[in-house]
Amino acid sequence: MSRNRTAVLIAAGALVVGAGVGVGGYAAVSGGATATADTSTATAVAASSSRLGVGEIYRNVNAGVVEIAATSKSAQNESPFPFGDQQPQIQQAQGSGFVYDTNGHVITNYHVVQGSSSLQVTFADGSTYDATVVGTDPSSDLAVLKVDAPSDKLHPLSLGDSGAVAVGDGVVAIGSPYGLEETVTSGIVSALGRTIQSTNGYSIPGTIQTDAAINHGNSGGPLFDLRGRVIGVNSQIESESGGNTGVGFAIPSNTVRSVADQLIAGEQVEHAYLGVSLASPLTGSGAQVASVTSGSPAADAGLKAGDVITAFDGNAVESADDLTSAVSEKSPGDEVTISYTRDGDSHTVQATLGTRPS
């Protein structure tokens, strides 16, 4: 992020035995994002060609929205007594998701299923089935599950083009905040191109900001446009209290489609990597380098802390978010030109982008 703010993951933690699952924010680090793929979801619930009311959208798509319960076992209790009862602590996180295809693939956030030992998916009719993790991409905070459910339970949702979304567009969110399944809220797209942080500390650029109410448990649930198409996956809120303040962030559907298709194909999602942490300069435009990772493409190119990057591959860089987004659009191995200033002097260097470390 280019500004200081409190971003909170919105998977809810419910205590079963031992400590509950917490929430937190992550420091801003530049570089990397989703590789692209040409495949798309084969089947989907038909989206309307005209704008619908919130109730109509809910009735059309609710069968494809699911609740996810992720159970994990922590290390054994550290008893102060040598013969204490050494029982593992069992924790449960609850989130949301949606059906991606008729093969039983379900999309959710990585932080919903992170560290889980078992998963259950509950459909709108109340039926519950076991699920397994097909693949995860922590850098985009996305995961694909496979649910063991009969075909008549699978109602895939249609993905829209997040690149066509505009500020002011109406949106609808459906999920299970605080375990209240099948909850629908509505609002607008309040901003585009926001950068949030994944659980591994890397940036997720291009996210959709919305004022539709989302809270703990909405994580992984779909954000719809007014034609009933999924345009994002709800992931974080900005909040000092941990509750909804009208500022939420969704992973854009074009990123979701790309990552999901690669994970379903058994591929590892690779992200371009420059190797710098960034801040916006105190004065003027550009992206100021806060630190450079040793052995990274940025280090090999001679970049140092304090440099202000002003252009990337021929395009002006106005902010840290600009550079993060520009790197995200590249692929590992791409050669790029970087212009920067140091001590008032301008410089231009070549760099070969690497693959973001896992």
Q: Is this structure's pTM higher than 0.85?
A: no
Question: In this model, does residue 38 exceed pLDDT 50?
Answer: no
- Measured at the CA of 170, the angle between CA 165 and CA 171, to 5 degrees, comes to 85
Confidence at residue 88, expressed as pLDDT on a 0 to 100 scale: 65
Average pLDDT over residues 157-163: 96
Confidence of residue 85 (pLDDT cuts 50, 70, 90): low
Question: In this model, does residue 31 exceed pLDDT 90?
Answer: no
Active site residue 321: no
Confidence at residue 73, expressed as pLDDT on a 0 to 100 scale: 80
**Residue 25: exposure state from Cβ atoms within 10 A (0-12, 13-18, ≥19):** middle
Confidence at residue 25, expressed as pLDDT on a 0 to 100 scale: 28
User: Are residues 93 and 74 in contact, defined by beta-carbon separation less than 8 angstroms?
Assistant: no
Confidence of residue 10 (pLDDT cuts 50, 70, 90): low
Q: Which candidate in 111, 155, 216, 271 is catalytic?
A: 111
Rounded Cα distance, 166 and 189, in Å: 7
Confidence at residue 6, expressed as pLDDT on a 0 to 100 scale: 56
Q: Which candidate in 137, 141, 261, 321 is catalytic?
A: 141
Question: In this model, does residue 196 exceed pLDDT 60?
Answer: yes
Average pLDDT over residues 97-114: 97
For the ranges 127-141, 200-214, 227-241, the maximum mean pLDDT occurs at 127-141
Among left, alpha and beta (phi > 0; psi -120 to 50; other), residue 343 is: left
Average pLDDT over residues 116-121: 95
Question: In this model, does residue 208 exceed pLDDT 50?
Answer: yes
Active site residue 334: no
Average pLDDT over residues 139-145: 96
Rounded Cα distance, 173 and 167, in Å: 16
Active site residue 141: yes
Confidence of residue 67 (pLDDT cuts 50, 70, 90): very high
Confidence at residue 201, expressed as pLDDT on a 0 to 100 scale: 85
In 217-262, the DSSP E strands lie at 222-225, 230-238, 248-252
Confidence at residue 86, expressed as pLDDT on a 0 to 100 scale: 60
Q: Which candidate in 116, 176, 203, 219 is catalytic?
A: 219
What tokens appear for 28 in the block?
């801003």
139 φ/ψ angles, rounded to the nearest 5 degrees: -65, -25
Q: Which domains does the chain have, with CATH numbers?
A: 7-75+90-264 (2.40.10.120), 272-355 (2.30.42.10)
Mean residue pLDDT of the chain comes to 85
- Which range among 29-33, 235-239, 286-290 shows the weakest confidence by mean pLDDT? 29-33
Average pLDDT over residues 148-154: 95
